Amino acid sequence: MITYEELFIGGTWTGPSSPELLDIRSPHDNAVIGRAVQALPADVDRAVAAARQAFDDGPWPHTPPAERIAVVRKLAALREKRADEIAALISAENGSALWFTKAGQPSLTRQVDAYLKAAEEFGWEETLEPVDPAAPFRSVVRREAIGVVAAIIPWNSPFSSASAKIVPALLAGNTVVLKVSPENTLSMNLLAELLADAGLPEGVISVLPADRETSEYLVKHADVDKIAFTGSTRAGRRIAALAGEQLKRVSLELGGKSAAIILPDADLGAAVQGLKFGSLLNNAESCIAQTRVLAPRSRYEEVVAGLKDLIESLGVGDPADDGTFIGPMIRRDQQERVRGYIRTGIEEGARLVTGGPEVPAGLEAGNYVTPTLFADVDNAMRIAQEEIFGPVLVVIAYDDEDDAVRIANDSEYGLSGGVWSADPAHALAVARRVRTGTVTINGAPIGFDGPFGGFKASGLGREYGAVGLGTYTEYKTITVPATR
């Protein structure tokens, strides 16, 4: 049993405003696996005050970039040493298959390495020559830290979401209050332990597990300069409205309902196996999951049959078992939400190919959902338009390439997507027409050097690489007299 009776505020473990412990439960069987205190508004006040003082009066914003890079590099090394422990803890909290959380550890290294490379090459200060060579001035353009960053992350991929925000924020010289979901208290407190050993100055970072009401208090806090949020589009709209009232800087990585376009010449076996990972990874509790599969009418039933075989072959059960691909949903209410969408699909008239709202036999103690496939789906149906966040795929027929692009773009979201074709150049041409922030060709993984984020209701701003680092900086231009 893991127990945390203190909060990590400003780099120090300290007593909370309330000593009440929250039970952290396994999604597999709802057994208590840990207990930990949760932050309340008074704790937010302390964390923000520490971050404010560390930014306004402390050394971190003025520390040379090379030294900030060294601290983040040390943090990354500390995480790598505890990679197996981190993977096991996330799996226990989230219900993610253990093989997946282990495989995600090298991905975290690549994510951080891309930020470190960007920081090493970043134009922290540049001198611009005027258009007129005879002008009596030059412009010095600086990229400076924004201030106190409130980084708010979801439960589904906690270390990845945390790294995507705190790493660039720290590299840019900001101070950070990281607000994490109660479900991830144990793994995120482990992250706090790593941060305590990384060599950050006092006050630079806090890690606060807290509920939604406390999150909103943090968002509205007058001493927060920027909000970086990953989560639902509904919450993102609320945060954007609150940020607008105070003109806070804000970046939002929100929901998705991504489409995978299978072109007529695609290798269906490869496409179906690719969608195993592109659509169903992490129990399909993923904002980038390609849960709308667009198939040509000429090969529609082949695609449906292939996906049926795939879904029925997936191991469902204890995330610690080697044969498990689909584990439980994070919470009981999320399980019921997904099962409700399955019932909605049946009511809407979609063809239930496999699965259904019944809980898998023998797994009733946990938050399990039977992986489900719908065919004969109209893109206007709720199961095709709304983010389900669970293992439910829909197959939609299209007439020609223009129709496929139209259907893919007929969504309020625009976060991810995929194109499958025997001709990668042709697939690239189709991908250019899809209104979404990221498109993968034939299952190629998303890289961390390019920007990641969404069009439309899938968010504002970008993460990863140099572009993601830049979102944690402000431009400053200083005009100086030219020397002759």
HEC profile for 311-378? HHHCCECCCCCCCCCECCCCCHHHHHHHHHHHHHHHHHCCEEEECCCCCCCCCCCCCCCCCEEEECCC
Cβ atoms of residues 178 and 205 within 8 Å: yes
The C-alpha atoms of residue 378 and residue 259 are separated, in whole angstroms, by: 13
User: Tokens 């610690």 appear where?
Assistant: 320
Nearest by Cα to 54 from 17, 9, 86, 24: 9
**Strand 205-209's sheet: what is its strand order?**
12-14, 7-9, 205-209, 175-180, 148-152, 226-230, 249-253, 459-460
295's tokens: 């198939």
Cβ atoms of residues 175 and 54 within 8 Å: yes
* 252 SS3 class: strand
* 7 SS3 class: strand
286's tokens: 């993923």
Question: Which sequence positions are flagged as catalytic?
Answer: 253, 287
Can you say whether the dihedral through the CA atoms of 159, 160, 162, 163 is positive or negative?
Answer: positive
How many CB atoms are located within 10 Å of the residue 322 CB? 9
Question: E strands along 370-422, which residues?
Answer: 372-375, 392-398, 417-420
74's tokens: 């040390």
* 36 SS3 class: strand
Nearest by Cα to 21 from 189, 136, 139, 245: 189
The angle, 0 to 180 degrees and rounded to 10, between the axes of the packed helices 98-121 and 83-94 is 120
- Burial zone of 361 (CB within 10 Å; 0-12 exposed, 13-18 middle, 19+ buried): exposed
User: Tokens 């680092």 appear where?
Assistant: 469
Cβ atoms of residues 174 and 56 within 8 Å: no
Q: For 116, phi and psi rounded to 5 degrees?
A: -65, -45
The C-alpha atoms of residue 216 and residue 245 are separated, in whole angstroms, by: 13
